[in-house]
Amino acid sequence: MDLVRAAYLYALSRLKGIGPRYAFVIARSFSDPESLIAASSSDLRARLGWRVASAIGPVLPSQWQPLWRTAHDVMLRHEELGVCPVPITSDSYPWLLKLIPDPPIILYVKGTLSTVQNSDAVAVVGTREPTEGGRVVANRVARGFASSGYVVVSGLARGIDTEAHKGALDARGLTVAVMPTSLDSVYPAENKPLAERILANGGALVSELPLGTRTHHANFAKRDRIQSGLSLAVIPVQTDMRDGTRHTVGFAREHNRPIFCPTPSYQEAALEQYSGILDLIRMGKAVEFQADSYQSLLTTISEHKTRLYPHT
């Protein structure tokens, strides 16, 4: 059923003038292609509003059938290659990610889906050019959270992201890599063994891009909203706030996710890699924590989860 739902959203999003946002609006009002195709013009306007109805009405008769066939084939190809398309209309879609303003309408998952669905997750992120001390801290932070049962979310990039994934795995924990590429490639290529290790140990790789999609620079920033969206909190370890970490931090603030920063060591605090961390703390945008304050940090994150989703 999820494969059909994914194909439906995929086809809708590729109708001229529709796109992902309107595709979700349409799928909420018409749960399957048959009911959409059978709808009259007045029914479309009543259920979708004038703007969406005006966009979809003229293109449905000529575009729908070939798009639907293509969408079905595309989703089958994903399934055959071990990639699970999870549509936002499915109960399998991660509920934390549903809470953000612009969640992907289809999340492509390679690996263990239950790991991606686990809402006890934190994002550990940072610069691609960390200090040696920063690498140690990122690994230690990730190990600490993974040892406490949290999924560690990061972006598989060089530097802090790499250490975050390794730290979680070293603790025999679970980790999710949010990719800026489709799942038929690994970026950077040097982290392909790490990606395979993540999968072998019950983790997952996720992307909002279907297989075969060309990667654009904008995809790197867009994936940062997914890192924040999958997580209860975001933990930048090192950044000068000129790298991609600034996007994840910005999304965390937009998504009402708390930001926690490990205290910079005395020896490295003056280095540029910590300039963004110190600014976040100084401006009150992040809460500073130390290694001996993990328990209070876990309590704070658990309380935040209850506020985000009171029924858990």
How confident is residue 312, by pLDDT bands cut at 50, 70 and 90?
low
pLDDT tens per residue across span 155-169: 999 999 999 999 999
SS3 198: helix
Mean pLDDT of the chain: 93
The answer to whether the CB of 152 falls within 8 A of the CB of 174 is yes
Query: In percent, how much of the chain has pLDDT > 70?
Result: 98
How confident is residue 213, by pLDDT bands cut at 50, 70 and 90?
very high
Instruction: Indicate the domain borders of the chain.
Output: 2-80, 113-308
pLDDT tens per residue across span 110-154: 999 999 999 999 999 999 999 999 999 999 999 999 999 999 999
What's domain 2-80's architecture? Orthogonal Bundle (1.10)
> Which whole number is the average pLDDT over 45-56?
92
Per CATH, is 113-308 categorized as 3.40.50.450?
Answer: yes
How confident is residue 292, by pLDDT bands cut at 50, 70 and 90?
low
> Which whole number is the average pLDDT over 104-108?
98
Query: In percent, how much of the chain has pLDDT > 90?
Result: 77
- Residue 4, pLDDT > 90, answer yes
DSSP state of 293: G
C-alpha distances (whole Å) from 214 to each of 13, 52, 218, 231 are: 17, 28, 11, 27
Residue 160 to residue 137: CA distance in whole angstroms: 9
- Residue 304, pLDDT > 90, answer no
Of 278, 275, 286, 180, the C-alpha closest to 233 is 286
Segments of the chain assigned E as strands: 84-87, 106-111, 121-125, 151-154, 175-178, 204-207, 233-236, 260-262, 287-289
